[in-house]
Structure 1
Amino acid sequence: MEVGQDQILERSRKIVEAAYDLLDEAGLEGLTIRAVLTRTGLSRRAFYERFEGKDDLVLAVFEETIRKAVRFFTERVASMENPLDRLRLIVTFIVLGRGIQGEAYTDRRGAALSREHLRLAESRPADLKGALQPLIALIEQILADGMASGVVRQDDPQRLATLLYNLVSTTVHSELLTSENGQVDQATKKQLANDIWEFCRRAISENP
């Protein structure tokens, strides 16, 4: 029986949701195709109708994470006039591990996605770039607004957006991988968020 597009999309949603839960519960080691099928009750055939393998599933998790984060950030910064305030909110939420409707990432999920981010950056850079593009595009637009209003120095906004994202994400990856098996010190994270933002602000401001 032919499977309709709507049914495939619904199955994809269930699979990605199951992947989120498994990453929260057991980290990357718990995210297996067998575990996903057990959690969703779907067949192996249903999985492979949408995903070629685990890498495709992880990329789908990244895509969904970024989509939700961009929606959340867009709503939160809509009332902020100063582009630097908008950027600070985004940087701070990323460092603190908050980006999906204010939801805090678990250390297991965050550390797992950090490891996969680094691995996919080498093995599937184009696909990872595509998954991250909506967030980088949002940062780029805010930087362009800042240049137009005179608070951000003139430069290529796309280049600056990529540099800013890479700086923040690399630091966050390092912190998550370090703290995966230990107690997360939220005070330290808040200080780190402030330090990273101050570094970014000085790098991009017209008058640092």
Structure 2
Amino acid sequence: MSLDRADEIVRKAEATFKELAPKVGQDQELALQFWAKLIANSKAVVSLASVQYGSPAAVVHRVSIEHFAYMYGLASGVITAEGAEQQFKYDIHKNAKGLDSAQRRDDKAGREVLTPENRKQLAEFLSDAENQVSDPGISVYNILGRLDLDFVYNIYRLYSVNASHANVFSCQWEPNEAEVMVLLDNVKDLLEIASAMWAEKVGSEQPA
């Protein structure tokens, strides 16, 4: 797919969002935020691809798939806003514990990474029982699997190998023209699936 066509699809998705978002119930506010993120990311992917930054474009598209999964999962009821919030809270607490543990090791080595104010805030956060939640087990893999969108996860896995984290592949991989065209096709697919899902949802919510 050409860059011009990809840009046209992004602009169409933006127009669809502006048309449908006001018609969606307040209970889907978080899902709408993920839809907006998906569109913004897709716009960035097309912009990066247009200046031959194929690898960074793929990195952004991988994040788009995460936003797509949470958007679709929330809108379809596969996950709840409460469950998503708990997952985010769990992940933040997990990372905070890791930061605290790392800082203790740095202290022994005589390195100061955190300022005294940072240390105080971190200690207060970790000691607050409200921040200590169980892992609800929400993941991109589980969401897409329950939605029968496994093919999207396969794309996510591909970019996890080639365009995510520091590994030999991500260091060396730069997509060729054909791979960039496939990337743009993936952008198109996610945007069109999202628009169709929201159009169906808004239609089903209208009074008969």
What TM-score comes out, normalization by structure 1 length?
Answer: 0.27
Greater C-alpha Rg: 2
Larger RCO (CA within 8 A; separation ≥ 6):
2
